[in-house]
Chain A
Amino acid sequence: MVYPLAPAGDVQPAVEAVDLVKVFAKGNVRALDGVSLRVEAGTVLGLLGPNGAGKTTAVRILSTILTPDGGRAAVLGHDVVREADVVRQLIGLAGQYATVDENLTGRENLRMVGRLSHLPKGQTLEQADALLEQFGLAEAANRPLKTYSGGMRRRIDLAAALVSRPPILFLDEPTTGLDPQSRQDLWLVIEELVRVGTTVLLTTQYLEEADRLAHRVAVVDHGRVIAEGTPAELKADLGATVIEITLADPPSASAAAALLGNRDGKAPTLDGATVELTVEDGPRVAAEVLRALDQHQLTVVGLALREPSLDDVFLSLTGHRAEAERTGSTDDPEADRRALAPARGGR
Chain B
Amino acid sequence: MNTTATLTPDRTIRQPPTGGRLRWAVADALTVTWRNLINYTRIPDAIFFSSIQPIMFVLLFRYVFGGAIHVPGTTYVNYLIAGVYVQTVMFGAVSTSVGLAEDLHKGLIERFRALPMARSAVLAGRTTADLVRNVGVLLLITAVGYLVGFRVQTNAVEFVAGLLLVLLFAYGLSWGFAIIGLSASNSETAQLAAFPVLFPLTFASSAFVPVTSMPGWLQAFAVHQPVSQLVDAMRQLMLGGHSAYWSSSNVWQALAWAVGLLVVLAPLAVLRYRRAA
Contact = CB atoms under 8 A, between A and B. Distances in A.
B35 interface: yes
B28 A166 contact: no
A117 B107 CA distance: 18
B1 A93 contact: no
Nearest to A199: B9
Contacts of B13: 86, 89-90
A99 B114 contact: no
A101 B35 contact: yes
Nearest to A41: B9
Contact of B116 (A76, A98, A103, A118): A118
A118 B3 contact: no
A134 B1 contact: yes
Interface in B1-38: 1-14, 24, 27-28, 31-32, 34-35, 38
Chain A: number of interface residues, binned into ranges? 35 or more
Interface in B97-127: 106-108, 110-117, 121
A99 B12 CA distance: 25
Contacts of B111: 93, 98-100, 113, 160
B113 A108 contact: no
B140 to A, nearest CB: 22
Contacts of A76: 11
A196 B42 CA distance: 38
B7 A193 contact: yes
Interface string B246-277: 00000000000000000000000000000001
A97 B28 contact: no
Interface of B: 1-14, 24, 27-28, 31-32, 34-35, 38-39, 42-43, 106-108, 110-117, 121, 277
24 contacts: A63-B114, A64-B114, A65-B114, A65-B277, A88-B115, A93-B111, A96-B107, A97-B107, A98-B114, A101-B108, A102-B106, A112-B34, A113-B115, A115-B28, A116-B115, A118-B117, A130-B6, A131-B6, A134-B1, A144-B42, A160-B111, A165-B6, A167-B10, A197-B8
